[in-house]
Amino acid sequence: MLTIVDHALVQHKLSIMRDKATPTAQFRQLLREISQLLAYEVTRDLPLEAVAIETPMGPMDAPMVAGKKLALVSILRAGNGLLDGMLEVIPPARVGFVGLYRDEKTLEPVEYYLNLPDALDERLVIAVDPMLATGNSSVAAIDKLKQAGAKNIRFLCLLAAPEGIERMKSAHPDVPVYTASVDKQLNDNGYIVPGLGDAGDRMFGTK
């Protein structure tokens, strides 16, 4: 399942982020704001349960999010740019990290860091990476989450290429993808076009 978050504020903020004249500090601030709005969409249908509370006017069975606290998993390093804003909207979330690099010889993703919350099999796990480009690292990260026991996974990104969506769909058809935009294509270097450039470099001011 693919959900494109076409909310006007998301689209407006994304357009400013795409502009190459937008400086690092503003890019980071916009990413924080946009990630709050994306968090709102990716959690829209979480199951609720009625909990007995007392309002100042009397008793009420009030809807609250059911089940174990969800896990946000950042795919390093750019995924970290989405974390802070999401945690503002979902403060009790547990947080994990997956770090992968591409072996220059085999071109296969190799894990260099993995730190995940416990009981992943009982949580909704939301994996975050701003760019779903070739899909290679995102698919490999989801492989790791499944190996660690995760059963209920969603993937959240800011921008996606059609190639990445197809790759994710064929490797992990059970993982719904949420994005603010599906761009036209990948270029020969695996960058999304028109995209926004290198998300990590733009948010951390590197290069």
Q: Is 143 a catalytic residue?
A: no
204 interacts with ligand URA by CB under 6 A: no
Q: Is 106 a catalytic residue?
A: yes
| Residue spans of beta strands (DSSP E) within the chain | 2-4, 48-55, 58-65, 71-75, 94-102, 109-115, 124-128, 131-132, 152-156, 159-160, 177-179, 181-182, 185-186, 192-193
70/158 with CB nearer ligand URA: 158
Q: Which two tokens stand for residue 23?
A: 């400086």
**Taking a C-beta distance cutoff of 8 angstroms, is the pair 175, 168 a contact?**
yes
**Site track 66-85 with ligand URA (rule: CB under 6 A), x = hit:** ------------x-------
| Catalytic residue, candidates 18, 28, 77, 102 | 102
Q: Which two tokens stand for residue 10?
A: 């998301």
Among 34, 71, 133, 158, binds ligand URA (CB under 6 A): 133
93/186 with CB nearer ligand URA: 186
Number of amino acids touching ligand URA (CB under 6 A) = 9
Q: Is 201 a catalytic residue?
A: yes
Report the DSSP pairing between strands 94-102 and 124-128: unpaired
Which residues does 131 contact at the CB level (< 8 Å), separation at least 6? Answer: 78, 157, 158, 159, 160, 192, 195, 199
195 interacts with ligand URA by CB under 6 A: yes
- Residue spans of alpha helices (H) in 109-152: 136-147
Instruction: Give the binding range for ligand URA (CB under 6 A) out of 29-37, 48-56, 173-181, 191-199.
Output: 191-199
45/188 with CB nearer ligand URA: 188
Q: Is 118 a catalytic residue?
A: no
Q: What does the binding site for ligand URA look like in residue numbers (CB under 6 A)?
A: 78, 131, 133, 191-192, 195, 198-200
